[in-house]
Amino acid sequence: MNPLDVFFAGIAPQHVPALVAGLVTAVWLAKTTLGMTTLGTTGRWRPPSVVDRWAGVLLGVSAAVHLALPLNPHHGPLVSGAFVASGAAFAVVASCALRGRSWRAAAAPVVVATLVGYLVAVGRGEEADQVGIATALVELVALGLAMVPRDGARLRRFAGGAATVVATFLVGAVVWVASIQAHAAGPSAGPSASPPSAGPSAGPADGHAHTHEHAGRTQAGVIMRPLGDAHHATDEQRRAADDLAARTLAATARYADLAAAHADGYRSGLAAAGTDVHLEHQGHKSDGVTLDPERPEMLVYAIEGGRATLLGVVFVMERAGVPGPEPGGPITRWHAHNVCLSVLPPGLGVVSPFGGCPALSVSVLTPEMMHVWVVANPSGPFAEGLDETWVRAYHAEHGRPA
């Protein structure tokens, strides 16, 4: 996967004008303000401090982003009006900061109100794309500058710092959980047909129905293969996807018995029980064979209560950065994971909501992989994930003795 594709994949197309506006404003304000000693001040106002200037740049960037968001009409008049109002408020506060006027008392409520609105939108299904996450981070930094007074009692400074940490944690947690849910239980980009004997699929009819399809680089540690311009599958791609699903179902029927999987060399990884247990075959992961239903690199089970249910397979490429084949076009969509390797326990984690790894750890990109479900998943055989509640109900009915 091209590094530039990875970077741009998580940017919703309708937010590109806002991204450009924010970057241009950041460069212009940084160039014209951070190196100057006065910024059009008069004797009535003190010269802006370094903190004032940085706050002005951050608030100005947020103003530019919010004012540019309505350039794409998909938000609707109500939301677009809210963006304009928020952008205007940020612009006023930024101007005050850059001119040495009082700005902290006004900045805090403006930032908090904007962040709350953003979290409500994310909670209701709005995609937390790269532009939204980056803007939220800019606003959190500005909030920290506003909440921690330059001069004041130690208790006030501590309270301001603590409030900023709590706000950052809350914003990150909501974005992180929403991103995980979008990829774990979101609708499929798969075909309208389902595997034979698995029952009719309620999945969308083509690859365009996915509501989170530009979450190519989500801060849940998942990097979806960018769709590009191929949002709709052709008839030939639909047939290829249906064929792959059918062949996978037939080839893995023997693994409905967990003992057969163990006998063939599949072993559980970190988790040996639960609704998402991955059994890996080390030999298949390095055999040079790609997308072979007879030799899947992983099997996915629900294993609970002494019973096991085969849910699907995971095809995995051998090397990171090598794209997997897409016989079904946008239907057979691959993804990779951004994981954090650390010298501290437990040694493995996922990227933070803001795209970074904890201290003493590094970000590593895994090889691409693709799920194919062999159960009657409501979202189709190529969905990004399975709903846990649905899996438990299915497992209770179809599970076999483990």
pLDDT by residue for the chain (402 residues), tens only, comes to 444 555 555 677 778 889 899 999 999 988 887 655 444 444 455 678 889 999 999 999 999 999 999 987 777 788 889 999 999 999 999 999 998 899 999 999 999 999 999 998 888 877 777 788 889 999 999 999 998 876 667 788 888 889 999 998 898 888 877 776 665 544 444 444 444 444 333 344 343 334 444 444 555 567 776 665 556 889 999 999 999 999 999 999 999 999 999 999 999 877 788 999 999 999 999 999 999 999 999 999 999 999 999 999 999 999 988 889 999 998 998 888 877 887 767 676 667 767 677 777 787 888 999 999 999 988 899 987 888 899 999 999 999 998
Domain boundaries, the chain: 3-182, 188-401
3-state secondary structure 264-330: CCCEECCCCCEEEEEEECCCHHHCCCCCCCCCCCEEEEEEECCEEEEEEEEEECCCCCCCCCCCCCC
Buried b (16+ CB within 10 A) or exposed e, 1-40: beeeebebbbbbebbebbbebbeebbeebeeebeeeeebe
Q: What is the C-alpha to C-alpha distance for residues 281 and 294, in angstroms, rounded to an integer?
A: 12
Task: Give the DSSP letter string of 111-129.
Answer: HHHHHHHHHHHHHTT----
